[in-house]
Amino acid sequence: MTQVVQVCVLHTNRDYFDYTSTVEPSLGARVWVPFRTTTRLGIVVGVQASTHCNKPLKSITTVIDDEPMIPKELLSLCHWISQYYQSPLSEILPLALPKKYRQGAACQLPQIESYQLTVSAGSAHQKIGVRATRQHALIDFLSNRLDPVPKKTILQAGFNTSLLNALHIAQVLKRCESIDIPLIQEAPIEAPLPVNKEQGIAIQSIVEHLSSYRCFLLQGVTGSGKTEVYLQVIVHVLALGRQVLILVPEIGLTPQLLARFTARFHVPIAVFHSNLNDTQRQAAWQLARDNHVKLVIGTRSALFTPMPALGLIVIDEEHDASFKQMDGVRYHARDAALMRAHATNIPIILGSATPSLESINNYLRQKYTLLRLTQKALNSPPLYFEIIDIRTQVLTHGITARTLAVIKTHLAQDNQVLVFINRRGFAPVMLCHHCGWMADCRACDSHLTLHKDSHQVVCHHCGLRQSVPKQCPNCQHRELVPVGIGTQRVFNYLASECPKITMVRIDRDEVSQKYALETHLARINSGEAQLMVGTQLLAKGHHFPRLTLVVVLDADNGFYNQDFRALEQLGQLLTQVAGRAGRAEFPGQVLIQTHLPHHPLLNQLIQEGYEAFAQTLLLSRREANLPPYYFLAVIRAQATQVERVLTFLHAIKEAMVTHPVTVLGPAPAPLARKAHQHRLQLLVKASSRITLAAALKHMRTHAALATIGTGVRWNIDVDPMDLS
Ligand code: ADP
Ligand code: ZN
Ligand code: ZN
């Protein structure tokens, strides 16, 4: 009988198209379908008896997979993301498939050459002459393993091909094809650390609830031993034969973190990071799907890894903004992971020193179980904060005399110092001292940043680069001065003040090349580099063995920023960077330069800590009808002609009038013009997720029509991280 099959054709901006088929393909299987004038890959997302479409349907060309390629639970996760984040399924399913599979590759692991003994080790030894010691060693090496051993592993262990050939001729081993399972460390497993009382309670509470959904919020300052808690819980999950998914922020995936995991478990681990090529990505995905790897560690997109025996999800640094995808499908990996854990009925751990206000609110509402680690695992003395009032001070390249003196004292004691400034480049503005002209971007409403290293002025929004102007185009004066500070400027100044000190700079310009970040971090980690100047790239997830001083130069940005999350992020950042300071034998010190030394929130943060600070912020969010008490979506639109954007946004605003939501705007985006595009936005506020979703869904049906022929590009951002 002919059936109607709903096929999601990737990147068509639609959920699915109807096709006919005489066989019933599995949900989640890939198919080839005729699409316009070509053949495209699609995923089966539904099978029905009839269609709403009144045109005659085309039929599926080929069914690629007998089994679902995307398992049922992930398919439902994609459906949820589609509905919650208001994105068509055809944009979400590609996230759940490695590129090779999106191109139609067969669903299987790459096969590799392997070897296995054909007889017992004892009889193998007898067949070989006594003096062939290397051959005997190879027999021992192979006899310790049950499965075929990849040739690559054998060679890595110091044996060569002629030894293999000799044993093959002696008929004690056979050659076969096997799959490439990631190597398990040869070194003995490291023993778990003896835990302190709080760690013990945390581990026990989680381990008691491994058989059903529950969200644990593990709050502990940096170095309080959260990772140790994950490790000891994971042991129990692995013992049950289950898999574990660990998500970390984009730059949290450090070699140190991986080393800690591989040293602790003798199970195959798959790591998803941005340096994987397509084949490696396919292999890692397939290994997880076939339950060969037990542990998957990765950034945001690893959320979509199929894991049939998934038993636990861990989200490290859950407050980190990199879990939210900022383009394409704007999903939040933490929130989607919560859905996945719920649907799979397994526990999930959210770890952070500085939980998001959303998560704090959720434990206050008893949706999450809070587990606290209040002490540093390695007893370090308490931190010493100092606010430096810069209102009346002379700043040299952004630094006060007092700050410089403290930096030098710490360096003289052979300690490490981190100077934090969240702006790359040399100076954010080039100004004519004579007439006040500023170097601006042609394409954006923004100033050009001076990059002295490359002798250029650069737009940080559209990437425009020009050579540094030699004179003012307005009044022809030659006195152009850099105003404000960036990482390069601070670095150069400190390098001239501390000529004998080894320094590194960490910002996006400096670490843009592959592995550059790793190399820089290794120099910090080994203690070779003593003075670090960096942006927030440096703020988290790294280990500084001798760090005793953190200097924050531009805290005020957080206070002046209009965005509703700016203060939360500033508090998180200050707490995170401060948490890096302090060694067992030296107290840590944090200097904060500010024009607002009496700011109540800054003082509360320093005196009472992040939690008290977060409670105050929550109160103000409640008063202002902002998340987590209210639900937001931003609708962003842009085009070369501003009128078209306005017309479009007014039309879709109109489409939502009958819904119980507040729609603010159209208003210019904080960066109102970028790359010659005029950008405007609507802010939609609702008292519940359901009303928000209903209004947006209704609006989307109108929006598609309203953009036809206008050149307006637009997107919806549900639960935005910022309003820019
Ligand atoms: P977090 O993940 O909270 O930053 P970690 O788990 O990385 O903390 O722990 C910080 C340091 O303390 C690590 O060097 C770790 O080996 C050590 N550590 C953690 N727990 C203990 C413990 N119970 N006893 C001794 N050292 C510990
Ligand atoms: Zn001028
Ligand atoms: Zn620009």
Which string of DSSP letters, residue by residue, matches 450-506?
Answer: EETTTTEEE-TTT--EEEPPSS-TTT--S-EEEES--HHHHHHHHHHH-TTS-EEEE
Q: How far is the CA of 421 from the centre of ligand 2 (A)?
A: 29
- Closest C-alpha to 636, from 662, 667, 657, 663: 667
Give the per-residue pLDDT at 583: 64
- The dihedrals phi and psi of 471, each to the nearest 5 degrees, come to -145, 165
Q: Does the Cβ of 199 fall within 6 Å of ligand 1? A: yes
In the 3-class helix/strand/coil scheme, how is 140-197 assigned residue by residue? HHHHCCCCCEEHHHHHHCCCCHHHHHHHHHCCCEEEEEEECCCCCCCCCCCCCCCCCH
Give the per-residue pLDDT at 237: 98
DSSP state of 585: S
Q: Does the Cβ of 263 fall within 6 Å of ligand 1? A: no
Q: Does the Cβ of 447 fall within 6 Å of ligand 1? A: no
Write out the H or E segment, with its range, that includes residue 393: none
- Closest C-alpha to 458, from 484, 440, 476, 480: 440
Six token digits for residue 454: 């490359």
Q: Does the Cβ of 195 fall within 6 Å of ligand 1? A: yes
Mutate to test the pocket of ligand 1, among 190, 193, 246, 580 (most ligand atoms within 8 A of CB): 193
Q: Does the Cβ of 193 fall within 6 Å of ligand 1? A: yes
Give me the helices (H) in 254-370, please.
255-264, 278-289, 333-344, 357-364
Ligand 3 is an ion; its neighbours by CB within 5 Å are: 441, 443-444, 459, 461-462, 464
**Whole-number Å distance between alpha carbons of 268 and 293:** 5
Ligand 2 is an ion; its neighbours by CB within 5 Å are: 432, 434-435, 437, 472, 474-475, 477
**Whole-number Å distance between alpha carbons of 281 and 273:** 9
**Whole-number Å distance between alpha carbons of 280 and 160:** 25
Q: Which ligand is nearest to the CA of 228?
A: 1
Q: Which atom of ligand 1 is nearest to the CA of 222?
A: 4
Q: How far is the CA of 676 from the centre of ligand 3 (A)?
A: 8
Six token digits for residue 441: 């971007």
**Whole-number Å distance between alpha carbons of 467 and 462:** 16
List, as one string, the DSSP characters of 69-94.
SS-HHHHHHHHHHHHHTT--HHHHGG
Q: Which ligand is nearest to the CA of 464?
A: 3
Give all strands of the β-sheet with 38-48 in edge-to-edge order.
Answer: 17-21, 3-9, 38-48, 30-35, 62-63
Give the per-residue pLDDT at 564: 87
**Whole-number Å distance between alpha carbons of 149 and 141:** 10
Give the per-residue pLDDT at 186: 66
Q: How far is the CA of 600 from the centre of ligand 3 (A)?
A: 36
Q: How far is the CA of 423 from the centre of ligand 3 (A)?
A: 16
Mutate to test the pocket of ligand 1, among 233, 256, 264, 378 (most ligand atoms within 8 A of CB): 378
- Closest C-alpha to 350, from 313, 323, 325, 299: 313
Q: Which atom of ligand 1 is nearest to the CA of 196?
A: 23
Q: How far is the CA of 436 from the centre of ligand 2 (A)?
A: 6
Taking CA atoms only, the protein residue closest to ligand 1 atom 23 is 195
- Closest C-alpha to 260, from 541, 669, 621: 541
**Whole-number Å distance between alpha carbons of 95 and 67:** 19
Q: Does the Cβ of 224 fall within 6 Å of ligand 1? A: yes
Q: How far is the CA of 447 from the centre of ligand 3 (A)?
A: 8
Q: Which ligand is nearest to the CA of 472?
A: 2
Q: How far is the CA of 629 from the centre of ligand 1 (A)?
A: 35
Q: How far is the CA of 64 from the centre of ligand 3 (A)?
A: 45
The pTM assigned to this predicted structure is: 0.89
104 sits in the region (left: phi over 0; alpha: psi -120 to 50; else beta) called left
Give the per-residue pLDDT at 226: 94
Let me know: does 549 contact 420? Beta carbons within 8 Å. Answer: no
**Whole-number Å distance between alpha carbons of 616 and 593:** 23
Q: Which ligand is nearest to the CA of 261?
A: 1
Q: Report helix angle 226-239 to 197-207, nearest 10.
A: 30
Give the per-residue pLDDT at 258: 85
Six token digits for residue 342: 């719920």
Q: Is 44 helix (H, G, I), strand (E, B) or coil?
A: strand
Q: Report helix angle 610-623 to 600-608, nearest 10.
A: 140
Q: How far is the CA of 209 from the centre of ligand 1 (A)?
A: 23
Q: What is the mean pLDDT of each run of 10 residues along the chain (724 residues)?
A: 91 93 93 95 91 83 94 96 96 95 87 85 87 89 82 87 89 82 70 92 98 97 89 97 95 79 90 85 92 94 97 96 94 98 98 96 96 75 82 93 96 93 93 94 94 93 93 93 94 96 92 80 88 83 80 84 86 83 75 92 91 95 95 96 95 94 95 95 96 96 84 95 84
Q: Which atom of ligand 1 is nearest to the CA of 224?
A: 3
Let me know: does 274 contact 299? Beta carbons within 8 Å. Answer: yes
Let me know: does 14 contact 49? Beta carbons within 8 Å. Answer: no
Six token digits for residue 561: 């920023």
Let me know: does 625 contact 406? Beta carbons within 8 Å. Answer: no
Q: Does the Cβ of 227 fall within 6 Å of ligand 1? A: yes
Taking CA atoms only, the protein residue closest to ligand 1 atom 27 is 377
Give the per-residue pLDDT at 248: 94
Give the per-residue pLDDT at 5: 95
Assess whether the previous peptide bond of 628 is cis (omega < 30° from 0).
yes
Cβ contacts of residue 710 below 8 Å, gap of 6+? 639, 644, 647, 648
Taking CA atoms only, the protein residue closest to ligand 1 atom 10 is 223
Q: How far is the CA of 326 from the centre of ligand 3 (A)?
A: 19
Let me know: does 39 contact 33? Beta carbons within 8 Å. Answer: yes
Angle, CA 494 vertex, CA 490 and CA 500 arms, to 5°: 150
- Closest C-alpha to 511, from 483, 489, 543, 533: 533
Six token digits for residue 394: 């002379």
Let me know: does 563 contact 590? Beta carbons within 8 Å. Answer: no
**Whole-number Å distance between alpha carbons of 180 and 633:** 45
Mutate to test the pocket of ligand 1, among 227, 372, 373, 525 (most ligand atoms within 8 A of CB): 227
Taking CA atoms only, the protein residue closest to ligand 1 atom 6 is 225
**Burial of 457: CB neighbours in 10 Å, binned 0-12, 13-18, 19+:** buried
Taking CA atoms only, the protein residue closest to ligand 1 atom 20 is 225
**Whole-number Å distance between alpha carbons of 5 and 25:** 8
Mutate to test the pocket of ligand 1, among 222, 228, 315, 376 (most ligand atoms within 8 A of CB): 228
Strand partners, 667: 681
Write out the H or E segment, with its range, that includes residue 600: helix 600-608
Q: Which ligand is nearest to the CA of 259?
A: 1
Let me know: does 276 contact 100? Beta carbons within 8 Å. Answer: no
Q: Which ligand is nearest to the CA of 433?
A: 2
Q: Report helix angle 516-525 to 255-264, nearest 10.
A: 70
List, as one string, the DSSP characters of 116-137.
EESS-HHHHHHHS-TT-HHHHH
DSSP state of 399: B
Strand partners, 634: 683, 717
| CA separation, residue 545 to residues 36, 382, 527 (Å) | 60, 17, 6
Q: Does the Cβ of 393 fall within 6 Å of ligand 1? A: no
Q: Which atom of ligand 1 is nearest to the CA of 195?
A: 23
- Closest C-alpha to 340, from 588, 79, 579, 114: 79
